[in-house]
Amino acid sequence: MILAGGATAGTHHRNTPSATTSCDLQPSCGSFEMTALGLDMASNNSHTVIEAKIATHATSNNSEDFQPSTVNGFTIFQFDPYGTPSGLCVTAQSANLHAGIVLKACANNTLQFWAPLSGGIYRLDGTAYVLSDPYGGGQYTPFQLRSNSHGPGQKFTFTKF
């Protein structure tokens, strides 16, 4: 798949299987989990804000479906419910500390470019700030840009079950 700006999609896996049409039937769809906390990165119900949701590993939850791709060494995360590209990408509202993380139209935009660091941490391009669940374990907590503390709310992995 080709994303905005000519990016090509990567492959990832869904960790919450479904008995019917679901993300794990699509090779380009998966969940992005804070494994130590048992939480997934997810879209809120209005598909505007990125927040933490409990990873149940039992039922399908299309709000947790994302597709990473790589552009010039940076990772872009497109919201991909049930494996269907939405055209919306994980985006920082600004490059400032405590900026909210939202879904906006995928574009060749540095506010959507995440530099992968060791340990599953992602830093926003051109800043010292990383993608974070700011309270490290709170369900429905909106994500923010935070200083890199190497905490469990900043370490993400894809997990296939």
CATH numbers and ranges of domains, the chain: 4-154 (2.80.10.50)
Residues 6+ apart with CB under 8 A from 127: 95, 145
Q: What mean pLDDT is predicted for residues 150-158? A: 89
Q: Per-residue pLDDT for 122 more than 90?
A: yes
The percentage of residues in the chain with a pLDDT greater than 90, rounded to a whole number, is 48
- How does residue 67 score in pLDDT terms, banded at 50, 70 and 90? confident
Residue 43 is predicted with a pLDDT of 92
DSSP state of 143: P
- How does residue 7 score in pLDDT terms, banded at 50, 70 and 90? very low
Residue 8 is predicted with a pLDDT of 39
Q: Per-residue pLDDT for 109 more than 50?
A: yes
Q: What mean pLDDT is predicted for residues 40-52? A: 91
Say which residue, 2 or 23, is predicted with more confidence.
23
Q: Per-residue pLDDT for 37 more than 90?
A: no
Q: Per-residue pLDDT for 23 more than 90?
A: no
* C-alpha distances in Å from residue 91, one per residue of 76, 94, 144: 9, 9, 10
Q: What mean pLDDT is predicted for residues 35-56? A: 87
Q: What mean pLDDT is predicted for residues 51-64? A: 74
Give the chain's radius of gyration (CA, Å).
14
Q: Per-residue pLDDT for 34 more than 70?
A: yes
Residue 25 is predicted with a pLDDT of 61
Query: Does residue 90 sit in helix, strand or coil?
Result: strand
Q: Per-residue pLDDT for 12 more than 50?
A: no
Residue 17 is predicted with a pLDDT of 33
